[in-house]
Structure 1
Amino acid sequence: MHSSLLDHTALTGDERFALQNPQLLRVALDGRAEVLARSGAMVAHTGRVQFTDWTPPGGGRRRNRQNQQSPQNQQQRPPGHQPAPALDLMRCAGTGTVYLANLAQHLHILELHRERLTITSSYVLALDTGIDWQTVGIEGGERISGVGRHSLELSGSGTLVVMTSGRPLVMPVREGTYVYADADAVVGWSSALEVQLQAQSSNTEAWRRRGTATEGWELSFTGDGFVIVQPSELLAPQRVPLR
């Protein structure tokens, strides 16, 4: 058979995490270390690999822990804030190769070396077991879905694979300046940044995703770090009353 389709043959290599293509992750398992992946993200595998539901060590330590590392983050968490749902993960163990994907989203491999990175949980595809996380809140974030309710601060050392809808924009943030981004387009940011939620309209009502000339809600960032923004917003237009 002759077809350009057959040019997309599975690649080989010893890298633990590698991209088969921009929307498909290849994970090499050597029988020793395990990998955590979003449940249901496996699209193919070779070898002897087991997929099991993953329960956090300590009976849910990662699922329910609040961010208590700094007064700044204490201020960001609104009264009555409930922890974001933990990542719905499966354990991948054994020997072989696993291919992971989610809705053909673009994939990005990040190496953490004791840095702290805040990511919306729905954009995490896979990670090493050595990475820890805790839920963080943004004051007023209960008004919006996505980043406002499901932000996770990841820390430790290891590999993290993040998804974006399309090729992302990374905005540098420097001391004394502000960067603003649509709240529904933000994927993540450096955890050291100060973050505030604000309305993009002075009207009594705002529309999401360009339902009118206004944009709805945005996040402002200041400090030293970066913000990851994707060229897509999470929800269809809906009316959101300002409080």
Structure 2
Amino acid sequence: MHSTLFAHVPVPSTGRYTLQNPQLLKVDVNQGSGAVLARQGAMVAFEGQIDFQSQYRNNSWRNVRQMTGEGIELMKCKGNGQVYLANFAQHIHVMEVGRGLTVDSKYVLAFDSTLGVGIVAIDSAVEIASAGAYNLELSGAGQVALLTSGEPLVLEVGPGKNICADADAVIAWSTTLRTQLQAPTSTSGVWRRRGSTGEGWEMQFQGEGHVLIQPSELLPPTHLRGGMLGFGMRGNSLGGSRA
């Protein structure tokens, strides 16, 4: 039996996270290095003796998620073997958390269970309900696998080099950075994405670190529903009157 398909066999590796290809991640799970937390439904195959469990969240996490809508359904992978993860053929990127990483939970595929996880808010320069945003903050020694729609862009932020980006395209950034979410228009114009240009909320970054941006963003809102306008990178709704 001959086919070019047989060129796509598992990639030999010694590390915990290995890219099988740009859209498929192989994770080595073993008792000695602890469990891996992965997005529920992301497993496409596995080898060995792997136990998949829904990840328990304490009351504090549940309360924050209920208030903010931020969160990710996780499963715990433990045992001995290899797990293959993917999410709608998005591009996968593995990185060390290092000094800390803040990330939109929609773009998390998997991470070490030894990492600390918290939820942080981004201040909004416009005092409108729900204009702020909430993200996951990962800390400690370990790795995380992130998702992007297409090949990403990494921008460095340093002294005298501030970075601004469309909030809908931002994936993650160094926790050491100072951030601010703001509308690039006057308060009376936040309902329109910068007039006819289609641009909406932007994020400003200051300090020293890096910002990860994907070459994709949510489509701008096209109509009002019940006096509410769907807006923002997490589908938050902003209250407002009809024009």
TM-score, structure 2 as length reference = 0.81
Matches within 5 A, 1:2-17: 2-17=2-17
1:85 equivalent in alignment to 2:70: yes
Matches within 5 A, 1:163-202: 163-202=147-186
> Residue 123 of structure 2 contacts residue 133 of structure 2 at CA under 8 Å; is this kept in 1?
no
1:4 Cα deviation (Å)? 2.3
Query: 2:205 maps to what in 1?
Result: 221
SS of alignment partner, residue 6 of structure 1: helix
1:11 Cα deviation (Å)? 1.9
One-letter code aligned to 1:45:
F
The 10-residue stretch of structure 1 (89-98 or 192-201) with the greater mean CA deviation from structure 2: 192-201
Query: 2:233 maps to what in 1?
Result: none
SS of alignment partner, residue 94 of structure 2: strand
Q: Distance in 1 between matches of 2:175 and 2:67?
A: 19
One-letter code aligned to 2:170:
V
Query: 2:19 maps to what in 1?
Result: 19
Offset from partner CA, 1:24-82 (integer Å, 9 cap, x none): 110112234211101110000111111110114xx34555569xxxxxxxxxxxxxx93
1:236 Cα deviation (Å)? 5.0
1:96 equivalent in alignment to 2:81: yes
SS of alignment partner, residue 130 of structure 1: coil
Q: Distance in 2 between matches of 1:16 and 1:60?
A: 31
> Residue 35 of structure 1 contacts residue 93 of structure 1 at CA under 8 Å; is this kept in 2?
yes
Q: Distance in 2 between matches of 1:133 and 1:219?
A: 22
RMSD: 2.7
1:105 equivalent in alignment to 2:106: no
> Residue 41 of structure 1 contacts residue 102 of structure 1 at CA under 8 Å; is this kept in 2?
yes
> Residue 206 of structure 1 contacts residue 215 of structure 1 at CA under 8 Å; is this kept in 2?
no
1:142 Cα deviation (Å)? 5.9
1:14 Cα deviation (Å)? 2.6
Count of aligned positions: 222
> Residue 183 of structure 2 contacts residue 190 of structure 2 at CA under 8 Å; is this kept in 1?
no
Query: 1:37 maps to what in 2?
Result: 38
One-letter code aligned to 1:38:
R
Alpha carbons of 1:83 and 1:133: their partners in 2 closer, same or farther (altered >3 Å)? farther
Query: 1:75 maps to what in 2?
Result: none
> Residue 37 of structure 2 contacts residue 112 of structure 2 at CA under 8 Å; is this kept in 1?
yes
TM-score, structure 1 as length reference = 0.81
- Out of 89, 94, 119, the residue aligned to residue 135 of structure 1 is 119
What are the ranges of 5 or more consecutive residues in structure 1 without an aligned counterpart? 67-80
Q: Distance in 1 between matches of 2:10 and 2:42?
A: 17
> Residue 119 of structure 1 contacts residue 187 of structure 1 at CA under 8 Å; is this kept in 2?
yes
> Residue 200 of structure 1 contacts residue 218 of structure 1 at CA under 8 Å; is this kept in 2?
yes
Alpha carbons of 1:38 and 1:197: their partners in 2 closer, same or farther (altered >3 Å)? same
Query: 2:232 maps to what in 1?
Result: none
Query: 2:28 maps to what in 1?
Result: 28
One-letter code aligned to 1:41:
A
Alpha carbons of 1:171 and 1:126: their partners in 2 closer, same or farther (altered >3 Å)? same
Matches within 5 A, 1:199-218: 199-202=183-186, 204-208=189-193, 212-218=196-202
SS of alignment partner, residue 97 of structure 2: strand
